[in-house]
Amino acid sequence: MNASIDFALKVSLAYSKKCKPLCQELGLPQTAFDILMFLANNPEYKTASDIVEVRKIKANLVSVNVEKLVQEGYLKRETVKGDRRKTHLICTDKAQSVIYKGRMVQESFFELLFENTDEEAKKSFFEVMDLMGKNLDKILDGGD
């Protein structure tokens, strides 16, 4: 397997493993937890279609898990004025403790991910990631 694909897969699997105990404690499927954390951490995204497009989760899976989060009181739907077909998903007060715990898991995960890495190496890593992100934007915009 390609090293970069293998790395991305390992990051995903390790993150899921670190989130599993919290998901079990909360009685939430991993996908529901991921959707809630995505919405909380990225307030510019507000709709189910945003989740499908950005997170690349299948629409039916997003629908089922959003419905679960709404029924359990973690999300509420808010109709967008001027577009009755569009609905924003809003994290509720009940969701705040889950979001807090989720962010603690995320912080712990990143600390473990960068364990034994000095600040200079971290800085270089993020600089390279930023440059690669810009290169990817150029490719996606039809450039080179």
Measured distance CA(100)–CA(102) in Å, rounded: 5
Is 74 exposed, middle or buried, given 0-12, 13-18 or 19+ CB atoms closer than 10 A?
Answer: buried
Domain regions of the chain by residue span: 3-113, 116-144
Region 112-122 average pLDDT:
94
Q: How confident is the model at residue 1 (pLDDT cuts 50, 70, 90)?
A: low
- Token pair for residue 32? 């529901």
pTM of the model: 0.85
Burial (CB count <10 Å: 0-12, 13-18, 19+), residue 138: exposed
| Model pLDDT for residues 71-110, shown as the tens digit of each residue | 999 999 998 887 777 899 999 999 999 999 999 999 999 9
3-113 belongs to which CATH class?
Answer: mainly alpha
